[in-house]
Structure 1
Amino acid sequence: MHIPSLKEVVSAEEWHLRCELAACYRLAALYGWSDLVFTHISAKLPESVSGAGAHHFLINPYGLMFDEITASSLVKVDEKCNKVIDSPFPVNPAGFVIHSAVHEARADAGCVMHTHTRAGVAVSAQKCGVLAISQQSTFVLGSLAYHDYEGVAFRDDEKPRLQADLGTANFLMLRNHGLLVVGKTVADAFLSMYTFENTCRIQLDAQAGGELIAVNPLIVKGVAEAMRVQTGGLGGAFVWPSLIRKLDRLDLGYSA
């Protein structure tokens, strides 16, 4: 599939974000988090690119697998999911309902990542939700919210309830549906989803193995400082360069 490059069409700042988001899609596919073509990762363009008062976002072209997505194939849309730059690819307006709700409510949402993984959906269907039984779970529980299932999320009237449930949390468990994370950057969102997904996988494995040992609640309260120390205060930016190097060793196609 030939996709004309947008590198000389868009600003350097937008191109950089396009490459980061395309890399995130490729990494999601690499780690087994994709659901054919049915989930989305969105990134908000800064006002320096969109223009004062404008709200523009990058999202995947609907119908492409995550491991096919490139910087140039990403579609730029406004808050109503109207294309800002002409693209031969369709966009899934229904898929943007959840993402637009989060971006609208959270000015700090530079990237919103949503998955339907087997482990994520399984734990989302458990009444107990996320249990404090692993080190990974403590990072999630420090900023976790839940949203009850209302069917396939294509109705705008669900947005206020989703926004209210999310509040200031960075991890959102969509009951009977999957996982969602909010990050200031693409790197932050990826690291959060990596932690969220592993939390769910570990929980399912532990539940199959016998009696569980809970983490002291006081540890959860101090998790923000623990994460700062763990990443040298850099958050997702601490691990992101190594992930890009890993991706580059495998395939440079995402930056086309």
Structure 2
Amino acid sequence: MIAASLKANAAHAPRATRDCSDVEWKVRTDLAAAYRLFDRLGMTDLIYTHMSARIPDTPDHFLINPYGLMFHEVTPDNLVKVDIDGNLVDGREGDAINPAGFTIHSAVHHARPDVGAVIHLHTDAGMAVSAQADGLLPITQHSLRWYNRIAYHSYEGIALDLAERERLVADLGSHHSMILRNHGLLTAGQDVAEAAVLMYYLEQACKQQIMALAGGRPLVYPSPEVCEHTAQQYERAYPRAGVLEWDAMLRWLDGTSGPVGPR
């Protein structure tokens, strides 16, 4: 399975032998690209984090990585299709999915029909902020996107208990981003592009917070009025996350542009 997964690495992989709709293939290529993008960005945890995407023409089915593959090995063809109950709908012999991943992703996809993609990562900065009592601080322009607009979920252990799903989605509510205490970050988007760009900038905000706190000097906090104004600017003055950025990120993945990174 792993050897087969290394054959296609382009962001827009050509259709192989998979028998699926054009709609599903588009989701497969975008989701596989997200895995490779976050691999290039170093936002991985070997085989233990996961991204999923709902298939629009079969909305009770979603795609997720096969358990045991690292991010750079994920391709449109080897993504596993499961239903909300965890039944394998389409996969290769021996495929399985991370049980904790199923708990988290099935919860969000079941409760939020507006969500097309979910990303959950264990990044260094994200996990560090998840362990800080005050959570994400409104101290940088990146972090102000989430001013009063991010959810928190208390740590309950490794997410193997399906009963946790109810509490997880209750905490998420209508938000598109959540910090899982002592655990990591989660973003939910209308599509893969939105969830991926939200995750990129949420991690940047966490990195900047850790760096600012490490400086050991007093922090400057914008006023609540300015914080709210900035959050509304993100919502009203710009297209939703991913609309402008995704194609550029795919070009970077394909090697036709320069590196992606903070400016």
- TM-score scaled to structure 1, two decimals? 0.90
Partner of 1:12: 22
What residue number does 2:4 align with?
2
Q: CA deviation at 1:36?
A: 0.2
CA distance in 2, matches of 1:189, 1:66: 16
Change (3 A) 1:7 1:217: farther
**2:46 is the alignment partner of 1:40:** no
Residue deviations 1:118-139 (CA, integer Å, cap 9, x gap): 1111110011111110001101
Q: What is the Cα deviation at residue 202 of structure 1?
A: 0.3
SS in 2 for 1:112: strand
What is the identity, as a one-letter code, of the residue corresponding to 1:105?
A
1:253 is matched with none
Cα offset, 1:228, TM superposition: 4.5
Verify: 1:100 aligned to 2:106, yes or no.
yes
Structure 2 counterpart of 1:175, which letter?
A: R
Q: Secondary structure at the match of 1:150?
A: coil
Q: Residues 17-54 of structure 1: CA distance to partner in whole angstroms, max 9, x if unpaired?
A: 100000000011111111000011000111xx21xxx5
TM superposition shift of 1:75: 0.5
- State the TM-score, normalizing by the size of structure 2: 0.88
Q: How far apart in 1 are the matches of 2:237 and 2:128? A: 28
Tell me the secondary structure at the aligned position of residue 249 of structure 1. coil
The 5 A counterparts of 1:207-226 are: 207-209=213-215, 210-226=217-233
Name the SS of the counterpart of 1:141 in structure 2. coil
- Give the match's secondary structure for 1:84: strand
* Residue in 1 that maps onto 2:83: 78
Deviates further, 138-147 or 213-222: 213-222
Q: Is the CA contact 1:136–1:195 (under 8 Å) kept in the aligned structure 2?
A: yes
Q: Deviations over 1:94-131 (max 9, x none)?
A: 32101111111111111100010111111100111111
**1:113 alignment partner, SS class:** strand
Match of 2:149 in 1: 143
Determine whether 1:59 maps to 2:64: yes
Within a 5 Å distance, the mapping from 1:128-207 to structure 2 comes to 128-207=134-213
Q: Give the drift of 1:2.
A: 2.0
The offset of 1:7, in angstroms, is: 4.9
> What is the rounded CA distance, in whole Å, between the counterparts of 1:58 and 1:64 in structure 2?
14
The share of aligned pairs that are identical, in percent, is 45
- Name the CA distance, whole Å, in 1 between partners of 2:46 and 2:18: 31
Query: Shift of the alpha carbon at 1:223?
Result: 3.8
The structure that is helix-richer by fraction is 1
Given that 1:139 and 1:195 are in contact with CA atoms closer than 8 Å, whether structure 2 keeps it comes out as no
Amino acid at match of 2:250: I
Aligned CA-pair RMSD = 1.7
- Equivalenced residue count is 244
